[in-house]
């Protein structure tokens, strides 16, 4: 059964298309790229949702939630597809990647996409899926949901992609989206009849009746908190009121840095100069990005506002950790917010 469909992104695309019509020419390629990224992501997730619906959509023992965003304090679990079995006490967190080309993982756990013979380093999608599993587990615990004993990460790739599995960790699951149903059945068969019956009995004793299972799905769907984006701010576009550019743009502190955000390749570190100080970014081993900032009031407020609900605050190191899917927008948001704050202070 389908508990939740994917969110409609047409509003985001419409907002970006309006910005594209009115933005100066120098900003248009950035807006067009963001529109293309949204459409590409939607395409991959729709394809995966289609295959999942075809396999499990009418099942009364398997629940599916697409595009699920769960908040846990200042942290967010962003799950492309969640699959839960009523009897097996197991959930599968599916991380969808719509890469074109061949995907490889070396013995060090470093991932690469090869397209037309050219390599491109990418953060580990397996670590990203594991991270969502960890957050989901903590969310379930925080909400007193004890029906799930095991959460497994799975990376779904496009049916037209290929993957070199020779050096994947033994526990890694990388599956083509059109083959997930068959893969899942093979995993279930490994349990054996006795184990499956034991699990069924266990769950009936724990109260996972059909009604309880549906209630779990309703609770997950009700907890979903959709993302809301101010694309004009996130892309560092000039405001329609007042000055046509932020003041920092006049001396090259804003727009060149915003344009460079998309060039985050390798491990860094990177330094972005804003109108109120430096923003420092580095990639950590699990593929996420760490953000540190100068201690000015403007910078502190901009970083906190931009990262809250989209990243994880690390009190010990006094920095924020963000996923690859969030980092570009967050940096643009911080730089734009700093510029606006500085402009407002000058005008006051």
Q: By the 8 A CB rule, do 84 and 148 touch? A: yes
Burial classification of residue 192, based on how many CB atoms lie within 10 Å of its CB (0-12 exposed, 13-18 middle, 19 or more buried): exposed
The reported pLDDT for the residue numbered 243 is 37
Identify which of 348, 334, 345, 344 has the alpha carbon closest to the alpha carbon of residue 254: 334
Q: Residue 167: its pLDDT value, please?
A: 86
Q: What is the pLDDT of residue 345?
A: 59
C-alpha closest to that of 113 among 160, 180, 46: 160
Residue spans per domain, the chain: 2-223, 231-347
CA dihedral 219, 220, 222, 227 (to 10 degrees): 170
Q: What is the pLDDT of residues 289-309, one digit of tens each?
A: 899 888 777 888 889 888 888
Per-residue tens of pLDDT for the chain, all 348 residues: 899 988 877 888 888 888 888 877 877 888 888 888 888 777 778 888 888 888 888 888 899 999 999 988 878 888 999 999 988 888 999 998 888 889 998 888 888 989 888 888 888 888 889 989 999 999 999 999 988 889 999 999 888 888 888 888 877 899 998 888 889 888 767 654 444 555 455 544 444 688 888 899 999 999 998 877 677 766 667 655 433 333 443 343 344 344 445 556 666 788 887 877 888 888 888 888 899 888 777 888 889 888 888 888 887 778 899 888 888 888 888 888 888 777 665 554
- Residue 299 has a pLDDT of 85
pLDDT at 279: 87
pLDDT of res. 135 = 92
């Amino acid at each position: 059964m389908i508990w939740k469909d994917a969110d409609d992104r047409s509003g985001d695309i419409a907002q970006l298309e309006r910005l594209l019509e009115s933005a100066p020419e120098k900003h248009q390629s950035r807006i067009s790229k963001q529109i293309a990224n949204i459409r590409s992501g939607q395409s991959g997730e729709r394809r995966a949702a289609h295959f999942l619906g075809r396999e499990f959509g009418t099942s009364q023992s398997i629940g599916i939630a697409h595009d699920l965003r769960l908040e846990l304090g200042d942290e967010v679990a962003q799950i492309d597809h969640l699959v839960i079995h009523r009897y097996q006490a197991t959930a599968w967190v599916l991380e969808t990647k719509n890469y074109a080309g061949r995907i490889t993982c070396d013995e060090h756990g470093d991932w690469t996409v090869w397209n037309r013979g050219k390599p491109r380093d990418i953060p580990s999608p397996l670590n990203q899926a594991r991270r969502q599993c960890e957050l989901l587990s903590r969310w379930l615990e925080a909400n007193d949901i004890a029906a799930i004993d095991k959460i497994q990460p799975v990376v779904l790739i496009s049916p037209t992609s290929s993957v070199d599995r020779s050096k994947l960790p033994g526990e890694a699951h990388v599956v083509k989206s059109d083959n997930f149903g068959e893969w899942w059945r093979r995993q279930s068969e490994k349990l054996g009849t006795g184990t499956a019956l034991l699990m069924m009995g266990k769950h009936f004793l724990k109260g996972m009746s059909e009604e309880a299972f549906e209630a779990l799905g309703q609770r997950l769907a009700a907890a979903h908190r959709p993302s809301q984006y101010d694309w004009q701010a996130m892309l560092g576009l000039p405001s329609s009121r007042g000055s046509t550019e932020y003041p920092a743009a006049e001396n090259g502190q804003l727009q060149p840095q915003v344009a460079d955000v998309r060039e985050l390749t390798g491990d860094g570190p990177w330094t972005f100069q804003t109108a109120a100080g430096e923003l420092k970014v580095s990639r950590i081993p699990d593929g996420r990005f760490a953000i540190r900032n100068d201690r000015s009031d403007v910078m502190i407020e901009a970083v906190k506002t931009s990262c809250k609900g989209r990243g994880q605050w690390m009190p010990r190191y006094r920095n924020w950790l963000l996923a690859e899917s969030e980092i570009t927008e967050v940096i643009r948001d911080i730089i734009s917010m700093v510029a606006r704050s500085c402009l407002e202070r000058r005008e006051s």
